[in-house]
């Protein structure tokens, strides 16, 4: 048994951490130049990674940085759907192309099989919600149903839709964790077919995206805890550091224990990303459930232990806390993954 | 034991409901329900409606223009207002300063300041916390030096809620730096237009501005603005804090919040069915509802004790701790209920931000969740409340 990173991943982690510590300007181009986007995809697709632990390393570092870079939404998730469809992702890896995935719908909540958007031949009509990175994308991958009722896994196809395609409307807005998303409305919008039956590819890509989101959240939790530890040792009230009060120090220990549990779950999920279903799904769901619970504890306790200062936008802790809590609203929340875990049985 | 309200109580509740139905505009109630943030005009409007009815200063004696209600009436009134999504009455003048002036102020101060609170001429804010004096409030450093018939004030206050709207601030200032820390503090009333005062807004993580920093540089304050005796301010501050803790359980707010959660969960779909039918979500709602049933009864036990003339002591700490836990849990349920739609994030909507899509008619639930982290921090953090409770417990054990 060995929990150490390989030498290559250690190097990736080091160089990414160094880069992010001083990153400014066009971070997307910087990450592409550093080869970070390539680390998300396997060699046969033009990358040099793509394994669960590659994703864990990259996104944990990204989560430590006080930046909002939609690497999951504009690179990983669309790239995996493109490769599943046998498409070239080299422009994506080079950083010259951004794609976003418009799959989620209001009625679907977190269910991947629920698609009401209809395909009439290659003309798509429907409403896609909270498409992160949608405005920044040159092209969208849109899921639509060519057959079956809204809730069946068969009959969901994928299309490439240009940003300026007729009948396509985007309404963009800020999102709570930082960055932007959009509501996407399609009315007889022409698309280029990518896959006829896309459900399995969606499940697989979303599993990787969920792992990435969890690793990113773990990175953010590490920073939030370190900031709180620092605050408890430096902030004085009643003539002594507030961390000398057990009412706070014991709670910080509980938070730290929760983060170590979360770290173990990211490792476990990364190790099972390439496993067959239902083993993969069960591990991903177990991890997302635990991280949803521990993330809430970490964010709320770190704010509380800071007091008012933890609630200000100017101080970084609040931004990390928002990223940690809002991660629960991406790729299925605590309850959704509890249900998935139960449904997938004792695999 | 009789857990029922009296016939008079029921009649009073009906009267409050009728008033709210008549006077509270639906658009204003929606703003409150959807956490869209209220403008100064919204607050002023609602205060004027209440004042016209004589219901603005519910806890003041009649001789000062108050309603002089008992604790049970106030409880009913506050609950009905919350359920109707009425704006919360801005407490700084009405619930905090008013009682202090009535108990410790001079007749001249009472005659001058109290009517101006009722008619909205003055908007008060609270100058208590400082960067180095949060939970340890008595460590405050803002100095007031006597210079003839003025005090000269230098220092900084922070977390000044709605200070951006205020024209007056009541401050705790240090008038004797050599005394023990609780003993050299005085209670001063300061006009915000005095030269040397600067208000800097603080943006919170929900994107809104409701707290401020207030800086004082050689601010000259007439000595007649001292409340009570010099160096006795801590006594008045503690008295004020006991008033700050009225309605601290916020049972009405929790009821209203739970109603909102249920309404969202009826609209939201999960697997083609209303989310409210999802067993995991339904269980979460039920747990909080059960906690709230207990809290509501605990609150009434303490209310009726207070009605019988027993001043609530550590019970107010109990109400603060459990009441805020429940309110925060409800804001957590609301953000869960909307699922991915919790992510769109627009501050206020009053800053010229385009409204974000809200298919579940839920309002700014994530912003509300983050904003309400404040409940367990302000007004004496829940840790401080436990400390108060624990100290009393140890004293009682002796």
3-state SS of chain A: helix, strand, coil percent to 5?
A: 55, 15, 30
The dihedral through the CA atoms of B48, B51, B52, B58 has a sign that is positive
Judge if pTM exceeds 0.80: yes
User: What topology is assigned to A99-197 in CATH?
Assistant: Butyryl-CoA Dehydrogenase, subunit A; domain 2 (2.40.110)
Name which of A130, A311, A339 is nearest B374 (Cβ-Cβ): A311
Kindly report which listed range (A231-235, B129-133, B205-209) carries the lowest average pLDDT score: B205-209
Q: Give the tens place of pLDDT for each residue, B261-297.
A: 999 999 999 999 999 999 999 999 999 999 999 999 9
- Quote the CA–CA distance of B160 and B238 in Å, as a whole number: 18
Mean pLDDT of B176-184: 93
pLDDT of residue A129: 97
Q: Give the tens place of pLDDT for each residue, B367-384.
A: 999 999 999 999 889 999
Q: Which domains does chain B have, with CATH numbers?
A: 7-89 (1.10.540.10), 122-232 (2.40.110.10), 248-397 (1.20.140.10)
Share of chain B above pLDDT 70, in %: 96
pLDDT of residue B244: 60
| Contacts of B389 by beta carbon, 8 Å cutoff, 6+ apart | B314, B317, B318, B321
Q: Is B275 on the interface with A (CB under 8 A)?
A: yes
Closest CA to A141 of A121, A157, A125: A157
- Between these two residues, B312 and A241, which has the higher pLDDT value? A241
Q: Give the tens place of pLDDT for each residue, B187-199.
A: 999 999 999 999 9
Q: Give the tens place of pLDDT for each residue, B89-111.
A: 999 999 999 999 999 999 999 99
Could you tell me the pLDDT band of residue B234, with boundaries at 50, 70 and 90? very high
The catalytic residues of B are 244
- Write out chain A residues lying below 8 Å of B369, CB-based: 325
* Residue B241 scores a pLDDT above 80: no
pLDDT of residue B267: 96
* Residue B243 scores a pLDDT above 80: no
User: Which 8-state DSSP code applies to residue B227?
Assistant: E
pLDDT of residue B358: 87
- Write out chain B residues lying below 8 Å of A335, CB-based: 278, 280-281, 284, 336
Where do you find CATH 1.20.140.10 in chain A?
200-343
Mutate to test the interface with B, among A73, A109, A150, A310 (most CBs of B within 10 A): A109
- Verify whether the Cβ–Cβ distance A318 to B205 is below 8 Å: yes
pLDDT of residue B307: 75
- Quote the CA–CA distance of A116 and B269 in Å, as a whole number: 13
The dihedral through the CA atoms of B18, B19, B24, B30 has a sign that is negative
* Residue B350 scores a pLDDT above 60: no
pLDDT of residue B71: 84
> What residues form DSSP beta bridges with A192?
A160
Interface predicted TM-score (ipTM) of this complex, two decimals: 0.96
- H-helix segments, chain B: 7-23, 26-33, 40-53, 71-83, 91, 98-104, 107-118, 233-244, 251-267, 279-307, 315-338, 365-371, 382-397
Mean pLDDT of B319-327: 96
pLDDT of residue B271: 92
Q: Is A237 on the interface with B (CB under 8 A)?
A: yes
B247: alpha, beta or left? (left if phi > 0; alpha if psi -120 to 50): left
pLDDT of residue B348: 46
- Quote the CA–CA distance of A28 and A36 in Å, as a whole number: 10
Write the CATH number of the domain with boundaries A200-343: 1.20.140.10
pLDDT of residue A51: 96
The CATH homologous superfamily for domain A7-93 is Acyl-CoA dehydrogenase/oxidase, N-terminal domain (1.10.540.10)
Mutate to test the interface with B, among A68, A132, A308, A340 (most CBs of B within 10 A): A308
Name which of A247, A312, A330 is nearest B202 (Cβ-Cβ): A312
Q: Is A109 on the interface with B (CB under 8 A)?
A: yes
Question: For every one of its 347 residues, what pLDDT tens digit does chain A have, with 9 covering 90 and above?
Answer: 889 999 999 999 999 999 999 888 899 999 999 999 999 999 999 999 999 999 999 999 999 999 999 999 999 999 999 999 999 999 999 999 999 999 999 999 999 999 999 999 999 999 999 999 999 999 999 999 999 999 999 999 999 999 999 999 999 999 999 999 999 999 999 999 999 999 999 999 999 999 999 999 999 999 999 999 999 999 999 999 999 999 999 999 999 999 999 999 999 999 999 999 999 999 999 999 999 999 999 999 999 999 999 999 999 999 999 999 999 999 999 999 999 999 998 54
pLDDT of residue B182: 92
Could you tell me the pLDDT band of residue B4, with boundaries at 50, 70 and 90? confident
- Write out chain B residues lying below 8 Å of A339, CB-based: 280
Task: Kindly give the pairing relationship between strand A180-190 and strand A168-174.
Answer: antiparallel
> What residues form DSSP beta bridges with A131?
A182
Chain B, 113-142: which have a CB under 8 Å from a chain A CB?
129, 134-136, 139
Share of chain B above pLDDT 90, in %: 81
């Amino acid at each position: 048994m060995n929990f150490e990173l390989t030498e290559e991943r250690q190097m990736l982690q080091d160089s990414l951490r160094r880069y992010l510590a001083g990153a400014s300007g066009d971070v997307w181009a910087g990450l592409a130049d550093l080869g970070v986007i390539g680390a998300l995809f396997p060699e046969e697709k033009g990358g040099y990674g793509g394994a669960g632990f590659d994703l864990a390393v990259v996104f944990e570092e990204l989560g430590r940085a006080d930046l909002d870079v939609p690497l999951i939404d504009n690179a990983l998730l669309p790239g995996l759907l493109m490769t599943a469809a046998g498409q070239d992702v080299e422009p994506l890896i080079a950083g010259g192309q951004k794609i976003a995935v418009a799959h989620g719908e209001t009625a679907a909540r977190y269910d991947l099989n629920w698609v009401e958007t209809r395909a009439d031949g290659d003309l798509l009509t429907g409403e896609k919600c909270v498409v992160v990175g949608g405005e920044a994308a040159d092209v969208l991958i849109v899921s639509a149903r060519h057959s079956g009722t809204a809730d069946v896994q068969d009959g969901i196809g994928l299309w490439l839709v240009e940003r300026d395609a007729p009948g396509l409307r985007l309404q963009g807005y800020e999102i709570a964790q930082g960055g932007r998303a959009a509501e996407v409305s399609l009315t007889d919008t022409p698309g280029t077919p990518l896959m006829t039956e896309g459900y399995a590819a969606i499940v697989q890509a979303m599993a990787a995206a969920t792992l990435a989101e969890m690793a990113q959240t773990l990175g953010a939790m590490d920073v939030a805890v370190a900031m709180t530890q620092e605050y408890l040792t430096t902030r004085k009230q009643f003539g002594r550091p507030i961390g000398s009060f057990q009412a706070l120090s014991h709670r910080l220990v509980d938070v730290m224990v929760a983060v170590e549990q979360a770290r173990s779950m990211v490792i476990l999920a990364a190790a099972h990303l390439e496993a067959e279903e239902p083993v993969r799904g069960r591990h991903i769901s177990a991890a997302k459930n635990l991280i949803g619970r521990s993330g809430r504890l970490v964010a709320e306790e770190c704010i509380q232990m800071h007091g008012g200062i933890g609630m200000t936008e100017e101080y970084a802790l609040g931004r990390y806390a928002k990223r940690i809590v809002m991660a629960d609203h991406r790729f299925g929340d605590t309850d959704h993954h509890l249900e998935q875990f139960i449904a997938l049985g004792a695999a | 034991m009789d857990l029922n309200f009296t016939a008079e109580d029921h009649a009073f509740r009906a009267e409050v409901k009728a008033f709210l139905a008549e006077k509270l505009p639906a658009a204003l109630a929606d703003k409150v329900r959807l956490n869209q943030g209220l403008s100064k005009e919204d607050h002023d409007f609602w205060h004027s409606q209440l004042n016209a009815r004589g219901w603005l200063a519910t806890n003041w004696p009649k001789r000062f223009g108050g309603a002089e209600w008992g604790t049970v009436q106030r409880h009913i009134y506050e609950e009905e207002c919350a359920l109707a999504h009425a704006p919360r009455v801005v407490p700084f003048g009405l619930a905090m300063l008013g009682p202090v002036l009535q108990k410790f102020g001079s007749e001249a101060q009472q005659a001058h300041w109290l009517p101006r609170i009722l008619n909205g001429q003055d908007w008060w804010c609270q100058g208590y916390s400082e960067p180095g004096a949060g939970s340890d409030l008595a460590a405050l450093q803002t100095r007031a030096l006597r210079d003839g018939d003025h005090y000269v004030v230098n220092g900084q206050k922070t977390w000044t809620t709605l200070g951006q709207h205020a024209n007056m601030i009541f401050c705790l200032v240090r008038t004797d730096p050599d005394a023990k820390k609780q003993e050299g503090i005085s209670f001063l009333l300061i006009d915000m237009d005095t030269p040397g005062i600067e208000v800097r807004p603080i943006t919170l993580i929900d994107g809104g501005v409701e707290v401020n920093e207030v800086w004082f540089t050689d601010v000259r304050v007439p000595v007649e603005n001292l409340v009570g005796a010099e160096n006795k301010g801590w006594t008045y501050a503690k008295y004020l804090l006991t008033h700050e803790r009225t309605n601290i359980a916020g049972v009405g707010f929790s009821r209203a919040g739970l109603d909102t959660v249920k309404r969202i969960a009826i609209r939201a779909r999960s697997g083609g069915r209303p989310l409210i039918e999802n067993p995991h979500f339904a269980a979460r709602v039920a747990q909080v509802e059960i906690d709230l049933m207990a809290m509501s009864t605990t609150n009434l036990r303490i209310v009726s004790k207070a009605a019988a003339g027993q001043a609530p002591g550590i019970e107010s700490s109990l109400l603060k701790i459990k009441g805020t836990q429940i309110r925060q849990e409800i804001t957590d349920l609301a953000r869960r209920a909307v699922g991915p739609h919790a992510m769109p994030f627009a501050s206020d909507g009053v800053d010229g931000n385009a409204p974000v899509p809200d298919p579940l008619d839920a309002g700014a639930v994530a912003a509300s969740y983050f904003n309400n982290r404040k409940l367990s921090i302000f007004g004496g953090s829940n840790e401080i409340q436990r400390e108060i409770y624990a100290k009393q417990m140890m004293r009682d054990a002796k």
